[in-house]
Structure formats: C-alpha cells, structure tokens
Structure 1
Amino acid sequence: MTITGIAGCTALMTTGFGLLDSIGAIANTQFRDIFRYDLTIQLENEEKDDALNDFLKDHQVYAEVLSDTVYIDHEGDELAATVIVPKNEEKLNKVISLRDRITGSTIAFSDSSVIITEKLADTLNLKAGDKLKIRNDDDLEAEFNLTAITENYVGIYLYINKYDYEKAFNENIEYNTIMVDSNIEEGKPMDEAIETLLRGEIMSAEPLSQLKKSFDSLLNNINFIVTVLVFSSAALAFIVLYNLTNININERRKELSTLKVLGYHKEEIAAYVFRESVILSFLGTVLGLFLGKLLHTFVVMTVEASNLMLGRVISAPSYALAALLTFFFSLLVNLFLTRKLNKIEMVESMKAVE
C-alpha cells in the first residue's frame, strides 16, 4: 500500500513538472529556434515599392513565399492548414528551421520537398512516402507525396516546393508574403521600421514578437493551473506518507514496545521503523517516475488541440525534482513521527492482543 501511494504521488508530480516542461518548450522553441524570422510582410502584389526595396537591401536575410490556407478532410471534419511555397528554397532554410524532433537532424528544403508538421502527421497518421490530398480556396484538389515531417508546435503548416505546387494546381504562383530576419530591436525601433514600410504599398507588416506575446499570455494561464497541480501533488505526497507511516506505527506498537523492553535505544527503534519506510519510498518513487512518464504522455496527447503540439520530453531536472521532493517528504514525515515512537511505553508489551 505504501509503494502504491508513493508511486501515485510521484507520478502526479512527475506529470506536473513534465507539463511545465512541455508548455515552456513551446514558445522558445517555436519562436526562436524554428521560426528564425522576426517580421512578416504581406504584399498587395509582387511588385515591390521603393520603401520595401530599400528595407530589403538593409536586411538581406529574407524569403519570399506564397502563404495561403488549404483544407484537409479528416474523419468527416475539415482541417485548415497554412501552405508555404517558397520562391527560393535556400532562402527558406535561412528563416525557418526544418528538422526532425527526435534526432534533431536538419531537413534541407529542396526543389522536390513536400514537408508537413508533426502534429498534422500524427492527426492523419501519415509518414514520409505517404500521399496527402489538399484543397485550396478555389475548391481545387491536389495530391502530394510527402518527403519529410518537421518539428513544429504552433499552427499547422505544409511546406511545398513551387514546381509541384504549380503543376498540381495548374496556376502561376503569386508570392504574397516576405519573411524577414531583420534583427531589429523590439519596441520603438521595430515600430518605426513598420511605420516606414506601411507608407508604401504593402498590405501589412507584423512582428513575430506580437504573436509570441499573445501566445505567452495563453501559456501563462495554463502554467498557473499546472503549478497548482504540482503543489497539490506535493501536499498529497506528504499526507499519504504521513498517514501510511502513522498506520504502520500504530499497528506495531506492541512489537515496538517489546523492543524497548529488550533494551533497544530509541535511535535504534527509529532506524528499524524508518529504514523500512525509506526502502518503500525508494521503490514507490522509481515506480512513480515510470508511471509519471506514461501519464504525462497521455495528458499531453489528450489536451492538445489540432493546431497545437506540446513538448513530448520530460527534462532530467524534472524527474530529479519529483524524486527529491518525495524523499524530502519521507524524511520530514520520519522526523514528525519520531516523537510518537519515543512516547511508546514498555508496558504496552504486556497488553493482550485485542
């Protein structure tokens, strides 16, 4: 019973710390490591005005792309996704990091690439080599052969080379978006740069930091809920340990009083009782860490939306913290109950078993 109780509490704490890892990984990984650009410019047409040309001369790390919404049928529902078709494959690789989440290896975008994000692949149960059918706003359908699956946490994206896209939909591509890695400081400098661009003929200009801030606000609310879960799990661990150890002592009062009669010192009796508690706590913790990993995976897969993927990995410090908290509470309970052990009288060894 002790092992089961401790394993359950450790599993809850591991899940809580793991969820903090999963949520915390999203914003930094998505908006710093995967999206390397910091400004999105929407064009009225492909013709660039003087203000935009001057801006791009000063900030030469950018990619011109077609960014459009496409639709995918899935189990009677319709998934909306953003298709990205780059004008230049090498330039896309500079502003968006396409990579395998598990191996960390880079996926180079080439003139034959058709890449989808991991969450979409999981939802549709697709892998490299499979076929994917999409539909555009003109209600035209096209089928593509997938070449790779890339790590992504926010949004559903398809990265398709311009040759296959033009052939599939039989239309010339109008590149309507420019992704720029400007390295302009957030705040006033970025606002001034956008204001200058808007004097030209572009449709809009939006810093990526604005999207990140709105997403951070959502994550902060989730973080609060997860933090409550962690503290509740920790409190539950203490209560479970205290009650189980207390029950153990009460059930063995006659045995412990007999040890006093035989001349055992209080330190020896405490070591005798709590040694067992520590061993059971260790076994329960090991089991709880394993169960926590399984529970974390289940929770993550359950709460994810179709356009959001949470981090899948629990960090080593989170495992360590869950284990250390369990052992800390185990030692704390032992200290609390040492006084109760010391109050056991030798005369109790003479009492008949009820």
Structure 2
Amino acid sequence: MTKAFWKVLWREIGHSKARFISIILIIFLGVAFYTGIRATGPDMLQAATDYYADQNLATNSVQSTAGLTHHDLTVLQHHRDQITYQAVKYLDINQLNNNQTVRVAELPTGSLNRLTVVSGHLPRRASEIVLDQQARTLQPKLTLGSTYHIATTSKLNRQFHRRTFKIVGFVNSPRYIEKTTRGVTNVGKGTLDYFALVKPHTLKTSVISRIDVGFKNLRGVTPYTARYNRLNRANTKRLKTWLKPQAKKRQAALQRQAQAQLAPTVAKVHALAQQVPANTPALVRAQAQVKRAQAQIAGIATPTYLFSGRAANPGYSEYHENTQRVVALSTVFPLFFIAIAALICLTTMTRMVAELRVQMGTLKALGYSNAAIGSEFILYGGLASLLGTLLGVGFGVNFFPRFIAQAYGSMYNLPAINVQYIWLDIVVALVIALVCTIGSAVAVSRVDLHSLPATLMQPKAPKAGKTLWLEHWHWFWRRLNFNHKVTLRNLFRYKQRLLMTVLGIAGCMAMMITGFGLKDSIGDISVKQFNQLWHYDAIVVRNGSQTAKQRRALHRQSLYQDDLVVKQSQATVERSDVANQTATLSVPQHPQQLNRFVVLRNRQSHAAYHLNNRGAIIDEKLAKLYDVHVGDTLPVKLGNRTTRKVRIAAIAENYVNHFIYLSPSYYHQVFGEKPVYNGNLVQFTHHGQRQQNAFANDLLKTPGMLNVTLLSTEKKNNFQMLDTMDLVVVIFVVAAGALALVVLYNLTNINVSERIRELSTIKVLGFYDGEVTMYIFRENLILTALGIFFGCFLGNWLHAYILNTAETDSLMFSPGIHWVSYVYAALLTLAFSLLVMGIMHRKLKRINMLDALSSVD
C-alpha cells in the first residue's frame, strides 16, 4: 500500500469523524455489555471458590438425633488420611431480653470453617465472647467492650457454666455466607438470628452437637461443578458406611446409661420386696414403676445419623443459583444489546460504501486492484472495531462485574471479586464487531468493485418512489398536505432505513421498559405482601399450647386488637434435584378465621382459597421451584423427623419466603399427631415502632413466651436488600439510553448524508432552516413512534425473561409493569430523538448548497 493510499484513509477518517466515532461508540457499548455481563457470573463464582478455599469450608457435616460422642470421633480418626474433622458443641437459645434466637457455640479446635474477624479478636479468656457480624446489625447497641448476657429459660440457663461475657470481637463464618439467614432451629420462632462463640468448657454438655468433615480429595476442586458433586456423593456414601455401626452402639450406650441410672431404684425395690409381703400396695406400685422404666429403656430408638453437604449451609446453594441467573441473563441480554449495535453498524458501513463510489471509480481508473480499493473499507471498519472492542472490554470487564457484585454484596459475606478476562468471550465480541463492520462493507462493496470505473464515477441514481397503498385510501390521502405526503413517501422509499431505525429504537425502548419494570416489580412486593396479603402485625411464639395466663398477657396489651391461634414451625422441603427450601408450616386452630389475617388467593384471578381436609395451600414460588401443581405432592420434613408427602390443594399468591398452610385435621392425617398450637398471629390497633417494641418486650416477660416477630422489622430487613437492586435498574436505563442516543444520532446522520442533495434543493427553493429540519424530523418522529410502539411489546417479553432469571429462591417478583413506566420510557426515547434533531438542526443550517448540488461529471 502506497503512502497516498494511507493518506486517503486518514483523510476519510478525518472527513467522517462523526461516523467513525459513532461506529466506535456502538461497538463500545455492545462489547462492554457483552463481555462485562458475561464475565460477571464467573467472577462471582471465582470469588466464592477462593473464599471457601481460604476459610477451609467443611465439605460435609454429621449430626445425630441422640448427639455425637468421642466414639464417633475415634471412628473418623481411623480415616485421617482421607479427611480432616472437628467437633462442634453448641446450644440454641432464645434471648428473652432482646427477642433474638442465638446459637451459642464453643470455639472448635480444628482448622475447618475458619472465621473472618471483622473487628476485635477471638476469645482468649473464659469471660470473653465474639458475635456474628449480623448481631451488630440486629442490635446496634452491641459494641466491642460491652457486656453480653445470656438470659433464656431456666432450664437452658443451667446448661452454661457462666452467662455473662465481654464482647471482644465480631466475625463472619464461611458456614453462613448469606448476611441475614442463619438456618433453622427447634427453639423460639424456628430460625436463628445470629451465632455467638465462646471458649471451650463454657457449655456443660458432654455431647457433641456436630462434626464438621473436610475430604482431602475435594481440595482444589471447583465447587458447584459436576466433578465436585460426583466426588461429594461418593464421599457422603463413604462417610455413611464408616459411621453406620455407630447407631446401634449409641443406642446400646444410651440403654446402659439409663440402666445405670435406674439401678439404685431397682436395688431399693428388691430390698423392699424382701421386707414386705408381695402384695403390699407400695411394693406393687414401685415394681410397676420399675417395669415401666425398663420398658422405656428397651424402647430407646436407634439414633438417626444425619449427613449433609455444603448445600445445607444457608446461602451456599442460593449464591450459586444467583450466579447462574447472571449467567442466564448474560446469554440473552448482551446478545440483544449487541444485535442492535450490529444492525446499526451494517447500515453505517453500507452508507459509507455508497458515499465513496466516486472515489472507488477514480482508484480503479488509476489502476488500483479491487483488493487494494476494498482494503480501505477493511482498514476503516477494522480500526473502528478494534478501538471499540478494546475500549468496550476494558470498561465492561472492569465495571459491570463489580457493579452487579456490589448489588449482590449486600446479601452475602464474601470478599470483593477479582475481575478476570474471559478470552473466548473477548474473541467472540471482536469477531462480531469485525463482521458488523468489515463483513458488511465487503458484502456491500463487492458489487461496486466489479463495476466499470465510468459507472462508479457517476452518482448512484436515487431510489425511485412507488405508489403507496395509503394513496388508494383517497379520503385519507386527499386530506394530507404536500409535506405530509412527501414524508410518507420517503418513509417507505427507504425501507432498510425504516426497518433499522424502528428495530434500533424498539430495542432501546424495550431495555428502558425492562429497567423501569424491574423497579416496579421490586417495589410492588412490599405493597402486595405486607398490605394486601398479610393482615397481621406480629407473630408470637410460645413453648407449647396457650395458657390462660399467656392469653391474658396478650389481650391486656394496649396495641392488641385481635389474634389467631396457630401452630407454626419451620419445615424443610427436600428433593434431590432442587436446593432445599425452608418454609413456614402453619396450622390455624380455627381455619375459618384465617382469611381475616392472611389472604390466600389466586394471583391472576384473585379467587379466594380456603383450607380443607384434602391438602395444603402452598405459595406460587415454591410450586414453581419444585414444578408441582394442584393434586401433586410435596416432600416436607419437620425437624429431624422422616419426610412426609403433602398433597397440594391450591397454589396461592406470595412474594416473600415460603409457606405451607394445613387444616388441623389434614395435619393430623399427614404427620400422625395433633398440632400443638404454639403461636399467635396478632393484629395491632396502630403501628408506632416504639409501641411495637414495647409490646414485644412486655410480652416476653410472660413465662413460656419465646419470641415475638414484628412484621415492621421483617419488612425493613427483607427490603433493605432489595434497595440495592436499584443499581441494576440504573444499569438498564443508562445503558439503554446511551444506546438509544447513539442509534438515533447515527441513523439520522446517515439519513441526512444520503439526502444532502435533496435537502439542498429544497433550501434553494426557499425553505427556511426550521422547515428543512422538520422535513427530516417528521420522518424521525414517525419512526420513533413506531419504535416506541413495538418496543412496548418487546419490553414486556424482555422484562418477563429477566424476572424469570433474576429471582432468588425465596423471592418472587411482581410480574406487572406500571403504565407510568411505559410513559417514562417513551418520553426518554422521545427526548433523545429531540436532542438528536437539535444537533442535526445545527448541521443542516451549515449545508453548503452549491457544493452539494454541484455535478460530479
């Protein structure tokens, strides 16, 4: 290539700066979204992988219905070449002085599940304690150096050697990567609020609560992968085999222990039998008691050993599902974005080839080959693509993963992500960018390059106008003025431009609708869940059936208006192909009164549901996760009991967490026992936060009251996390707006360039600058309106897809989009169109009519 050739290329770039920069911007936006969103899921997974490895998160855990002993540890010691393990002792309590359910655990001596110290240090003395970082969020008064006092039931208080501690630190545990959820318990309201860690020998129990196990063959294996899951299944099977004999041994040990405790009584009864006649009433009663005790000892059941993997840790599986949602999002949304960019690049390069026909003819006449002439377009498009790709990758990979991870960061205790460049996606983005520019230029120029120089040096004849079908509608066509007729004819005369503009604007409109729609879907959850579906203000949990004293204590509260007595417990829904879900199982004592406190209805028709004896009512999200319908069964497990099949009678609207409602008779039918009504749903007369806190504190002073959950607090905790989703909404709206601006500017610029002679002609004929601008603007306005119209339908589809992929397991977004969101998106699109026309108006004012109309002959 000669020096003159390079001079021509640089001159072309200089003369068409707007077009060159617009191609770079379009490629930049498309590549930034594609590579950035595509990298987000892997970046988030890598952050979790590194964290699990750094903190040495256990791969398995073992528990038993009768507790674990040092004999179990001895069995595992024989396999220390394959595993590491550590014993954990803990006790779940309900703090009556602050209405929190806490797991107090002794610091284990092993290296598994290393804690991250957020502030302070780990306990060094028996009088010191560290708390979960979540404790500081729930109780801001808990600070370093302050006193922490354990105040629970008398029975549980006696399980501690000491109950007053000094807070010396706050920590995070890799067992709980989710910030708010700490798992289930059989104490208080059924869910843990936070954990506390003390020095060994603080608890009086000699029984081990849990053994954490780390299999060495999983070191270096990426979590969540098929290989990890395969090895973990084999490891769990091996662990069960090792500990299988321990169940019978533990049963025998418990029976021996009970016999030893009964032995003094038996000896006394034998002594009494030698002293008194055989039929003495006192002797008969004593012998009967011994016989019953021995029967109970003989009836001690074989303990059940419970084996769980990391999936049982709150947040572990959900975090993976969230990353998979981002991955699913990255398969459609960025491609949707880059497709729009590709269409506009195709139009831009097509116009460039048309503009340079005369230059192509001149170069051919001077003896340049087709390859040399075509290389100008290849270099022009390639340079724009390369610059746009480099800028897009640099921005997208460094911005979007951090931005989205920050939104999820409010939900998880994980370190900041380290961005990584996924070269396959970068290469794919570059290839798409090159195809959009070079490919379209080569395809369009191929015909012209085979034309004669004389033909090329003549301007291409304008596209001939055709009779429109609207002209056959004489009543309508006769009422249009000249300008409007010209506008309509020009629209259908340039069909490619019409299609590209409408598609480009529709795509941008769709993304803005999706952004605003996400905000609607998130915001509606609070209104629908807490105002329309739940009509109670507090949940009271007791240690058993309601006593007269507890009922009087509740009714005398100044806030009290009404209540519904219920049985409430946390149930686990288990199935091998779905991550375990925790649901609140509720049984109202008087089912006919339930609709005054909870609205159970069909989400679409609002038809009311009522409890019956033929099945349970579950929430819509739970049904979706397990792909079940009315008439199917759901595997439900209460505590450590065996899993039971619950038939589904109805699927009701719900947005936050999961629930299963059963009638008393159906509960008895499924679980083989009558429900113990351990709670109340309470309605208040008014809703001042201070009065509600006083209500909870006062009620907890009543013996047997374990916990009071205020819905105002639950609402605050649940939707504090959702506020961060506004960041994602901002991404959608800003990115869509930027693309809309670039698309409209590019297409309008091409439109003006194509018709420069036409516009110069009407200026010569006496049209004012404003009239010339309106000549173009009318067409743009119609095309913008068409794009807005079709964008509404496209936005509905994209919004539904995003909701389906972005929901978490315990949350369902409201699927509707507010009408005002369509208005906002349309007004923004229209505003961008007006802004572009303002820029174009300045350009049209500076048209040199003589140059534009001069002949090229």
Question: What's the offset of the Cα at 1:191?
Answer: 1.7
Note if contact 1:304-1:310 (Cα within 8 Å) is conserved in structure 2. Answer: yes
Q: Structure 1 residue aligned with 2:745, among 222, 239, 242?
A: 242
Equivalent position of 1:26 in the other structure: 525
Question: What's the offset of the Cα at 1:101?
Answer: 1.0
Note if contact 1:72-1:78 (Cα within 8 Å) is conserved in structure 2. Answer: yes
Q: Structure 2 residue aligned with 1:310, among 803, 813, 816?
A: 813
Question: What's the offset of the Cα at 1:51?
Answer: 5.0
Equivalent position of 2:693 in the other structure: 191
2:506 counterpart of 1:7: yes
Question: What's the offset of the Cα at 1:52?
Answer: 4.0
SS at match of 1:203: strand
Note if contact 1:72-1:81 (Cα within 8 Å) is conserved in structure 2. Answer: no
2:544 counterpart of 1:45: yes
Q: Give the whole-Å Cα distance in 1 for the aligned partners of 2:828 and 2:787.
A: 13
Equivalent position of 1:130 in the other structure: 632
Equivalent position of 2:563 in the other structure: 62
Q: Give the whole-Å Cα distance in 2 for the aligned partners of 1:145 and 1:154.
A: 22
Question: What's the offset of the Cα at 1:228?
Answer: 4.1
Residue by residue, what CA displacement relative to the aligned partner does 1:187-235 show, whole Å, maximum 9, x if unpaired? 2211221121011020011211111111121111112331343233223
Q: Structure 1 residue aligned with 2:575, among 62, 73, 85?
A: 73
Question: What's the offset of the Cα at 1:154?
Answer: 0.5
2:791 counterpart of 1:288: yes
Equivalent position of 1:88 in the other structure: 590
Note if contact 1:61-1:94 (Cα within 8 Å) is conserved in structure 2. Answer: no
Larger RCO: Structure 1 or Structure 2 (Cα < 8 Å, ≥ 6 residues apart)?
1
Read off the aligned partner of 1:67 and give its amino acid letter: Q
Equivalent position of 2:655 in the other structure: 153
Residue by residue, what CA displacement relative to the aligned partner does 1:18-68 show, whole Å, maximum 9, x if unpaired? 000000011121112111111111101113252542423663522222222
Q: Give the whole-Å Cα distance in 2 for the aligned partners of 1:155 and 1:102.
A: 19
Read off the aligned partner of 2:724 and give its amino acid letter: N
2:845 counterpart of 1:346: no
2:721 counterpart of 1:215: no
Change in 2 beyond 3 A, CA 1:10/1:114: same
SS at match of 1:178: strand
Question: What's the offset of the Cα at 1:353?
Answer: 5.5
Equivalent position of 1:35 in the other structure: 534
Q: How does 1:246-257 map to 2 (within 5 A)?
A: 246-257=749-760
Q: Give the whole-Å Cα distance in 2 for the aligned partners of 1:31 and 1:44.
A: 27
Note if contact 1:112-1:161 (Cα within 8 Å) is conserved in structure 2. Answer: no
Change in 2 beyond 3 A, CA 1:239/1:183: farther
Question: What's the offset of the Cα at 1:324?
Answer: 2.0
Q: Give the whole-Å Cα distance in 2 for the aligned partners of 1:270 and 1:245.
A: 11
Q: Give the whole-Å Cα distance in 1 for the aligned partners of 2:771 and 2:694.
A: 74
Equivalent position of 1:109 in the other structure: 611
SS at match of 2:600: coil
Residue by residue, what CA displacement relative to the aligned partner does 1:89-142 show, whole Å, maximum 9, x if unpaired? 122211111111111222233454521101111222222233333232233233
Equivalent position of 2:729 in the other structure: 226
Gaps of 5+ in 1: none
Equivalent position of 2:770 in the other structure: 267
Q: Give the whole-Å Cα distance in 2 for the aligned partners of 1:265 and 1:92.
A: 73
Deviates more, 1:34-43 or 1:73-82: 73-82
SS at match of 1:181: strand
Read off the aligned partner of 1:50 and give its amino acid letter: K
Question: What's the offset of the Cα at 1:240?
Answer: 2.2
Question: What's the offset of the Cα at 1:312?
Answer: 0.4
Residue by residue, what CA displacement relative to the aligned partner does 1:260-313 show, whole Å, maximum 9, x if unpaired? 233433333222211111111111111211111111111111011111101101
Q: Give the whole-Å Cα distance in 2 for the aligned partners of 1:76 and 1:93.
A: 31
SS at match of 1:146: strand
Read off the aligned partner of 2:579 and give its amino acid letter: D
Q: Give the whole-Å Cα distance in 2 for the aligned partners of 1:105 and 1:338.
A: 57
TM-score (norm 2): 0.40
Note if contact 2:510-2:796 (Cα within 8 Å) is conserved in structure 1. Answer: yes
Gaps of 5+ in 2: 1-499
Note if contact 1:281-1:327 (Cα within 8 Å) is conserved in structure 2. Answer: yes
Note if contact 1:23-1:310 (Cα within 8 Å) is conserved in structure 2. Answer: yes
Question: What's the offset of the Cα at 1:162?
Answer: 1.4
Note if contact 1:61-1:95 (Cα within 8 Å) is conserved in structure 2. Answer: no
Q: Give the whole-Å Cα distance in 1 for the aligned partners of 2:639 and 2:566.
A: 17
Change in 2 beyond 3 A, CA 1:227/1:186: farther
Deviates more, 1:214-223 or 1:72-81: 72-81
SS at match of 1:61: strand
Read off the aligned partner of 1:3 and give its amino acid letter: V
Note if contact 2:568-2:679 (Cα within 8 Å) is conserved in structure 1. Answer: yes
Q: Give the whole-Å Cα distance in 2 for the aligned partners of 1:49 and 1:99.
A: 34
Q: Structure 2 residue aligned with 1:300, among 800, 803, 807?
A: 803
SS at match of 1:180: strand
Residue by residue, what CA displacement relative to the aligned partner does 1:324-344 show, whole Å, maximum 9, x if unpaired? 221222123212311211211
SS at match of 1:214: helix
Deviates more, 1:10-19 or 1:327-336: 327-336
Q: Give the whole-Å Cα distance in 2 for the aligned partners of 1:212 and 1:76.
A: 27
Question: What's the offset of the Cα at 1:244?
Answer: 2.0
Q: Give the whole-Å Cα distance in 2 for the aligned partners of 1:251 and 1:280.
A: 17
2:832 counterpart of 1:333: no
Question: What's the offset of the Cα at 1:76?
Answer: 5.2
SS at match of 2:684: coil
Change in 2 beyond 3 A, CA 1:49/1:334: same
